[in-house]
Structure formats: structure tokens, C-alpha cells
């Protein structure tokens, strides 16, 4: 019998949930199932997709594919013990990502999970890079040269007044960037901005552009994570002709000060592990390395570009 993969209906969601959490401690299983079903049901139609793999009517595996915004989708490695079932689920995910027209379908995974990484690679999700996650506890802030001392002024994002300036700066700062440069070839500035908007709980409330006089220097996009009382640097970039002058450090220091002023417990970020220059700056500012995750991704350059949509 062949394996078939289909989108779970509302009636099938309880069985899929029970399959995913079958090995969870009995005291926690029901709560995890309920929270999962609530999360899956919360998105707009077609946004949170649960895929079921059957053979001869028997449920063999479950896949989760989430379209977090019109440019980005995220997936989890299939929940199954069978290699052929995992292959079928991932290939169906790849087809759905291709048909949606998003710029990237990605999964973050422990670098040590070599078996799963090989599984992802052979089914159209090759290794893109590793991300180094870093955290600043906000207990001792650096005493580097401030924005005021450098005559730099922060400008808050305003969708009516300065959206175009933010988009232009986002596109400019992507030039010669060492942070996941492959993404610069598949996402427009508009798509990048919308992807950053979907990170965290604060929308664009803490987005800043930095200027000196009439010259725009860089951009810092911060996001709240209310569940753990922390903020995240979802994007930071400096214009190519302004790099190496301490502008980036001053921008991050401003972010640290803002996070502490809002009574946060930490400021976090993720940086391409190959970007040693940025990592050095972050460490000098007091950030501490946490875990590292591998990014496996299917990029739009690997399939025909189509209008983004959920299906």
C-alpha cells in the first residue's frame, strides 16, 4: 500500500494531536494537546496546516507547516518513526511551499540531529546556515559612546510618514551583509519588513531608524516577547558607508536602554555564526552566547516565483 498525505480536517485534529504528544508525560499530555489545538485553530484559513500521512487507513505520521506571513513559512520535522513516511510528508510540504509563493520555508534544528538534517536535505530543505543565539541580561549596560554623543537621532516608525525611508534603509543595509546573505536574493525589502512585523507581540511599536542631520544611517527593529518578559533584536543594519564607525554599537546600546526602561529581563538576538565581526561587537556590549541552531530552508530561488497566498 502507498502512503498518502492530506490536510487534516477539524474532525481529524484531535487524532493528530494525540499522535504528536503520545510520548508526553501523562500528567502533561492533555494540556499540551489542548494548547496545540488552540494554536492551530487560531490562524486564518490555510495558515496553520497539519498534514496527516496514512497507509491503509492507519495514521503513520503528522507534519506541521505554518505560514507565519505572506513571505515566510515554518515547519517542524515530521512526527513519525518511518523514514518513507517522513519523506512523503516533507515532499508534500515542499509542494505546498512552492505553490504558496512564499520566499522561504524554514526549520530550525539542533545541529547534532544529523539524521533529521539529512532527511531535510534530501527532501528539498538543504542547510542554509547556523544561527548563534545571544542574550543580554540588562544588569550591566555598556558605557560606549551614546547616540547623543555621536549626534545621532532615533526616529520611530510611522506607516504614513516614513515607511518608504524604512524600506529604503532595509534594502540598503542588506548590501554586503554577512547575516544570512542568501535571503537577500529571495526576499524584497517589503517582504522582509512584513516578516519582521510578525516576530513577537509588539508589531512595529519599537522600530527605529537612525539619522545624523539629513543622512539616514541605519535601522533597528525590536520586538516584545511578553511570555518571558524580554525583547528581541529582530533586525539591525547599518548603511555600508557608515560601517566601522561605532554606529551599530550605539544603536544596540540604545536598544538595551529601551528594553531596561521598559522593565524587561533581557534583550536577545540571533546572528549568523559566520558573522564573527558582529558577534565580537555583541560580546563587547555584554551579550552572552546561548545555543546554536541549524537553519534548513527551501528558498524561492529554488522554485518559480508566484504571488504569495495561503492555500
> Are residues 18 and 154 both part of a single domain?
no
> Are residues 206 and 175 both part of a single domain?
yes
> Are residues 121 and 204 both part of a single domain?
no
Identify the three-state secondary structure at position 306: coil
Give the Cα separation of 152 and 201 in Å (integer): 28
- Determine, yes or no, domain membership for 35: yes
pLDDT of residue 204: 86
Going across the sheet that includes 266-272, the strands are: 4-7, 48-55, 58-69, 72-79, 104-109, 288-299, 127-136, 266-272, 230-238, 215-225, 206-212, 153-156
Please state the domain count of the chain. Answer: 2
- Determine, yes or no, domain membership for 252: yes
- Which cell numbers in the block locate residue 44? 486564518
State what percent of residues in the chain have pLDDT above 90.
Answer: 69
- Please tell me the pTM assigned to this model: 0.87
What DSSP element (H or E) covers 219? strand 215-225
Chain-centroid distance of CA 254 in Å reads 23
Question: Which residue, of 130, 161, 188, is where some domain finishes?
Answer: 130
pLDDT of residue 296: 97
> Which structural domain range is residue 217 located in?
141-285
Check residue 181 and report its DSSP letter.
Answer: G
Q: Average pLDDT, stretch 5-16?
A: 94
Specify whether the CB–CB gap between 182 and 272 falls below 8 A.
no
> Are residues 98 and 51 both part of a single domain?
yes
> Are residues 108 and 164 both part of a single domain?
no
> Are residues 215 and 180 both part of a single domain?
yes
> Are residues 224 and 100 both part of a single domain?
no
> Are residues 280 and 145 both part of a single domain?
yes
Question: Which residue, of 110, 130, 150, is where some domain finishes?
Answer: 130
pLDDT of residue 202: 63
Taking only the tens place, the pLDDT of each residue in 243-256 is 888 899 999 999 99
> Are residues 151 and 123 both part of a single domain?
no
Question: Which residue, of 105, 130, 155, is where some domain finishes?
Answer: 130
Identify the three-state secondary structure at position 247: helix
- Determine, yes or no, domain membership for 295: no
What DSSP element (H or E) covers 124? none
> Are residues 194 and 262 both part of a single domain?
yes
> Are residues 179 and 113 both part of a single domain?
no
Taking only the tens place, the pLDDT of each residue in 179-221 is 666 666 677 778 887 777 777 666 788 999 999 999 999 999 9
- Determine, yes or no, domain membership for 297: no
> Are residues 280 and 146 both part of a single domain?
yes
- The domain that contains 54 carries what CATH number? 3.40.630.30
- Determine, yes or no, domain membership for 145: yes
Which ranges in the chain belong to alpha helices (H)? 13-20, 26-42, 83-100, 114-122, 163-174, 189-197, 247-261, 276-284
Give the Cα separation of 275 and 177 in Å (integer): 9
Find, among 38, 33, 85, the residue nearest to 60 by Cα.
85
Average confidence score pLDDT of the chain: 89
- Determine, yes or no, domain membership for 293: no
- Determine, yes or no, domain membership for 36: yes
- Kindly report the backbone phi and psi dihedral angles of residue 135, in degrees, each rounded to the nearest multiple of 5, phi listed first: -140, 140
- Determine, yes or no, domain membership for 294: no
10 Å CB burial of residue 26 (0-12, 13-18, 19+) is: exposed
Amino acid at each position: 500500500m502507498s502512503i498518502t498525505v492530506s490536510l487534516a480536517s477539524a474532525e481529524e485534529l484531535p487524532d493528530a494531536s494525540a499522535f504528536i504528544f503520545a510520548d508526553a508525560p501523562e500528567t502533561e499530555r492533555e494540556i499540551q494537546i489542548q494548547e496545540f489545538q488552540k494554536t492551530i485553530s487560531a490562524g486564518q484559513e490555510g495558515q496553520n496546516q497539519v498534514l496527516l500521512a496514512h497507509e491503509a487507513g492507519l495514521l503513520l505520521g503528522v507534519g506541521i507547516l505554518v505560514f507565519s506571513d505572506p513571505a515566510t513559512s515554518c515547519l517542524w520535522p515530521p512526527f513519525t518513526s518511518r523514514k518513507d513516511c517522513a519523506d512523503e510528508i516533507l515532499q508534500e510540504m515542499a509542494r505546498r511551499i512552492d505553490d504558496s509563493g512564499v520566499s522561504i520555508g524554514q526549520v530550525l534544528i539542533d545541529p547534532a540531529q544529523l539524521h533529521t538534517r539529512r532527511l531535510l536535505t534530501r527532501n528539498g530543505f538543504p542547510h542554509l546556515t547556523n544561527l548563534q543565539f545571544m542574550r543580554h541580561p540588562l544588569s550591566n549596560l555598556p558605557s560606549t559612546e551614546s547616540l547623543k554623543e555621536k549626534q545621532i537621532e532615533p526616529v520611530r516608525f510611522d506607516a504614513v510618514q516614513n515607511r518608504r525611508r524604512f524600506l529604503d534603509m532595509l534594502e540598503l543595509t542588506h548590501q554586503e551583509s554577512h547575516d544570512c546573505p542568501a535571503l537577500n536574493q529571495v526576499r524584497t525589502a517589503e517582504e522582509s519588513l512584513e516578516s519582521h512585523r510578525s516576530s513577537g507581540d509588539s508589531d512595529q511599536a519599537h522600530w527605529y531608524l537612525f539619522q545624523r542631520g539629513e543622512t539616514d544611517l541605519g535601522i533597528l527593529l525590536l520586538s516584545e516577547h511578553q511570555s518571558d518578559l524580554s525583547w528581541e533584536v529582530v533586525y539591525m543594519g547599518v548603511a555600508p558607508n557608515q560601517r566601522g564607525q561605532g554606529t551599530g554599537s550605539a544603536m544596540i546600546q540604545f536598544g538595551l536602554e529601551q528594553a531596561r526602561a521598559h522593565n524587561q529581563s533581557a534583550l536577545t538576538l540571533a546572528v549568523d555564526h559566520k558573522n564573527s565581526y558582529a558577534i565580537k561587537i555583541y560580546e563587547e556590549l555584554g551579550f552572552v552566547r546561548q545555543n546554536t541552531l541549524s537553519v534548513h530552508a527551501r528558498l524561492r530561488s529554488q522554485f518559480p516565483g508566484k504571488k504569495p497566498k495561503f492555500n
